[in-house]
Amino acid sequence: MKFTSVIIASIALFVAQVAAEPVPGAVKPTPPAPPVYKPPTYKPPPPPPPPKQECLKSCSYGKPTCSYGWSAVKKGDCWTCCKDIKY
């Protein structure tokens, strides 16, 4: 009886080894894809602050004609001439 159980155990071990080894020429299963790299969320820098302006105190209800270097700017219901201050 011992001899028979040793043979059965040997056959079972052999079958387990054969089942674990891939068959030569067999198509291997594709490995799982590596995780996709996702960079941290990109936040663009904030826009530069608008240039500071020097404005005239006058207020007109129609668009004024401004001097060279000045531009007409509407503030509420009022138009005035402003120029950008350059540092």
Is pTM, for the whole model, over 0.75?
no
Q: What is the pLDDT of residues 60-75, one digit of tens each?
A: 889 999 999 899 999 8
Q: Which two tokens stand for residue 18?
A: 């054969």
Please tell me the predicted confidence (pLDDT) of residue 81: 93
CA distance 69 to 81: 10
- Helix, strand, or coil (residue 82): strand
